[in-house]
Structure 1
Amino acid sequence: MNGKQAAGELAVKYIQDGMNVGLGTGSTVYWTILKLGERVREGLQVRAVPTSVRTEELAREQGIPLIQFADLARPLDLTIDGADEVNPQLSLIKGGGGALLREKLVAAYSERFIVVADDTKEVAALGRFPLPVEVVPFGWEITSRRLAALGCEPILRRSDRDGTTYHTDNGNYILDCRFGTISDPGSLGRELNALPGVVEHGLFVGMAERCLLGGENGSVREIVIR
């Protein structure tokens, strides 16, 4: 068992009968969804909000009941999602898979947010991974210039499949921004939020309570922030 599988599967222990849960997107949460599907087939009663079309399709294949935000009378009990980078304060860079907007919406409407990743995603400071910023297509060139003025190199994301401009599930573009070391993720996040044309960014600050980091030998180390 590799680190991603170990961390992803272990996270399911936090899901209790009767919970409404958020299901993230990515190669580690993939294992969470498979394990959760197994538990559902064994009788666990849960309902889930997926953060992407890919996650929705996988959850349906696994027989996990899905709900929409309109069906919720209160916040989700728990969201489990991955990360591209995790620092010691559990600030994150997310969005490598392109689902950052839905991921942040779901995590922000959850009582608890748990991160699953392999231990290669642990960093002393964020910024080695380019920061994804979701922008509206209209005037994206101007938004890109404004982002560059904050001290980064924005690169328009292209589809791995055919090289055309990548579109999120929401129909927006992503600019992958190389800022270098991000010493104050909260401050940078506020600057990004203030830019017209920016829909959302991949900095998740003060949201995660716990991170499960899987190692190559299948061991899992837990980091708890509160």
Structure 2
Amino acid sequence: MTDTNVEAAKRAAAQQAVADHFDPSASFVGIGSGTTIVYVVEAIKERSTNPSVLFVPTGYQSRQLVINAGLTPISFDSIPDRVMLDVAFDGADEVDTELNCIKGGGACLFQEKLVAERAKKFVCVADYRKRQDRLLTNWPTIPIEVAPLSQHKVEASLRLLGSTNPKLRTTLLEKSGPLKTDQHFFIIDAPFPALLTSADVAAGKGKGDGSDGTWEVNNISKAIKGLTGVLEVGIFSGMNGNDAQALRAKDGALSAVTGGQKPIAVYFGMADGSVKLRTADGEQ
């Protein structure tokens, strides 16, 4: 497929996602990072009739997109206490059948997770290349944001967890040294075998706890996040925003104090110009 086909797929997915989930009367909207978000902001600008909507970007690129569209950005730490974002739009590097995502190819995973967790609903927009049954099928590594001082220790720990060759991400000009995130942290890209879904574990396809060489999505995320020196892991899993809101309503926020880490819906722009929608109920 040509780049033109891919870009058309991204635009189609963005247009449909925004049509379904952007409400001009919203107060706060999260805007993620990456190439697909260009088309999300484009679609929002076409539909936005309320100049009071405030947009929360996840990095420098998305902030510039918001500004250039004539929309109003605010920083994440400017959101009033106890206020949730009405919706957050973001892309992904890969998505599995249970809507777990790998993100962080653009090195904004920490900010992206902050925004996704603060949103009532996270909506993912991607092209057909990101549509897989299991994470680490096509996308090769888990991006991990680490404190520079801890780089070597974290790499050693990742090898013990089963990563074959974790590598420090460098800039495009390798002589310029390691890539640094907005937090001035490093990114380690850690390869693992394809990750099991919870359904795979239930079906006996592996233990999913690393003891037999297999890892389930949530388990590997928790194992990596538990390493000293790790700020954030580029796996978006667990509850989605709808589930988190239902749990808060049930027990007064004792069990769910944030939104969801994984999307309520993923819109895949396909090579033929159509859009496939994947939700917890399946794909259509």
The residue that corresponds to 1:65 in the other structure is: 72
**Is 2:101 the partner of 1:82?**
no
The residue that corresponds to 2:10 in the other structure is: 4
Change (3 A) 1:44 1:105: same
The structural deviation recorded for 1:9 is 2.2
The structural deviation recorded for 1:45 is 4.5
Give me the whole-angstrom Cα distance separating, in 1, the residues matched to 2:232 and 2:50.
37
Number of residue equivalences: 225
Give me the whole-angstrom Cα distance separating, in 2, the residues matched to 1:31 and 1:60.
14
**Is 2:185 the partner of 1:185?**
no
Pairwise CA RMSD:
1.6
SS of the residue aligned with 2:71? coil
Q: State the TM-score, normalizing by the size of structure 2.
A: 0.75
**Which stretches in structure 2 are left out of the alignment for 5+ residues?**
1-6, 197-215, 239-261
The residue that corresponds to 1:95 in the other structure is: 104
1:179-218 aligned within 5 A: 179-183=192-196, 184-206=216-238, 207-218=262-273
SS of the residue aligned with 2:105? coil
Name which structure has the greater RCO, CA cutoff 8 Å, separation 6+.
Answer: 1
Give me the whole-angstrom Cα distance separating, in 1, the residues matched to 2:136 and 2:157.
19
Q: What one-letter code is carried by the residue in structure 2 that aligns with 1:213?
A: F
The answer on whether the counterparts of 1:83 and 1:94 sit within 8 Å (CA) in structure 2 is yes
The answer on whether the counterparts of 1:98 and 1:168 sit within 8 Å (CA) in structure 2 is yes
The structural deviation recorded for 1:84 is 0.5
* Equivalent in 189, 202, 209 of residue 176 of structure 1: 189
* Equivalent in 135, 156, 163 of residue 168 of structure 2: 156
Identical residues among aligned pairs (%): 32
**Is 2:59 the partner of 1:52?**
yes
Deviations 1:75-100 (A, max 9, x none): 10100100111000000100001100
Normalized per residue, the structure richer in helix is 2
The answer on whether the counterparts of 1:2 and 1:217 sit within 8 Å (CA) in structure 2 is no
* Equivalent in 31, 35, 45 of residue 37 of structure 1: 45
Give me the whole-angstrom Cα distance separating, in 2, the residues matched to 1:144 and 1:70.
35
Deviations 1:139-184 (A, max 9, x none): 3111111111111121110112455210111111000010021111
The answer on whether the counterparts of 1:17 and 1:45 sit within 8 Å (CA) in structure 2 is no
Give me the whole-angstrom Cα distance separating, in 1, the residues matched to 2:50 and 2:237.
35
